[in-house]
Amino acid sequence: MGGGPIMIPIFICSVISLAVIMERIVSLRRKRIMRPELIEVIEAVRGPDDIQIILSRCNAIKGPFSNIIKRAISNAYLSREEKVLDIQSAGRQEARTLERMLVVLEVITAITPLLGLLGTVLGMSQVFDVISEVGLGQTKAFSGGIAQALRTTIIGLGVAIPSLIAYSSFDRKVDNLVLEMEKYSMLLLNKLYTNQKIGSKGF
């Protein structure tokens, strides 16, 4: 492939990026997060008497969705407004969990263009050394070196751009999943506290 020793860390970054992307595609599937069994239970709830059913189902189905639901039905001493804030806090905590691997993509997006630029600078330095020895008349002596120097920048950008697209896509998906989990948690809260009124801010 050419490009010199800088191609090694760029290649490693590309492998890591691909692995993270594949892992996040699997882990962030909607059905894996928004478990249909939990949605069915929430839709079937009629009132506070169903809390134990919800709790048992959440204990059986682990995950971020069940964690937020359990926060919605716990801490009975809190007012409804405080429960809303508690659900939002739980949503932020679960968002951090779902985003745990995205920082890797963010770092790769930042460093691979810099690695490519470093490879280009090092390559051009070698080209100038050749020019100083053979002069500008022997274009074949350094044209290949220039092409090799530029190759690292091209490959670096080729790794960074897909990584950035994947990072943005997954980050947006996490936000949408958390909002949906909060929405169902608020629906559950409304069913459990039908005699009270709750503000709709943020939902």
Residue range 90-99, pLDDT digits in tens: 888 889 888 8
- Residue 187 predicted with pLDDT over 50: yes
Please choose, from the candidates 181, 177, 180, 126, the residue with its C-alpha nearest in 3D space to the C-alpha of residue 149. 126
Residue range 119-169, pLDDT digits in tens: 888 877 777 676 666 666 566 656 666 777 788 889 999 999 999 999 999
Distance between start and end Cα atoms, the chain: 52
Q: What is the mean pLDDT of residues 167-181?
A: 93
Residues 6+ apart with CB under 8 A from 20: 101, 102, 104, 105, 166
Q: Quick one: what percent of the chain has pLDDT higher than 90? A: 31
Please choose, from the candidates 170, 59, 198, 200, the residue with its C-alpha nearest in 3D space to the C-alpha of residue 105. 170
pLDDT of residue 137: 58
Cα dihedral: 170, 176, 179, 180 (round 10)? -120
pLDDT of residue 149: 75
Mean pLDDT, the chain, integer: 83
Helices (H), the chain: 7-27, 30-33, 36-44, 51-60, 64-73, 80-98, 102-134, 139-192
**pLDDT confidence tier of residue 198, bands split at 50, 70 and 90:** very low
pLDDT of residue 197: 44
Domain boundaries, the chain: 7-192
- Angle (CA) 56-61-65 rounded to 5° is 105
pLDDT of residue 195: 46
Residues 6+ apart with CB under 8 A from 16: 104, 108
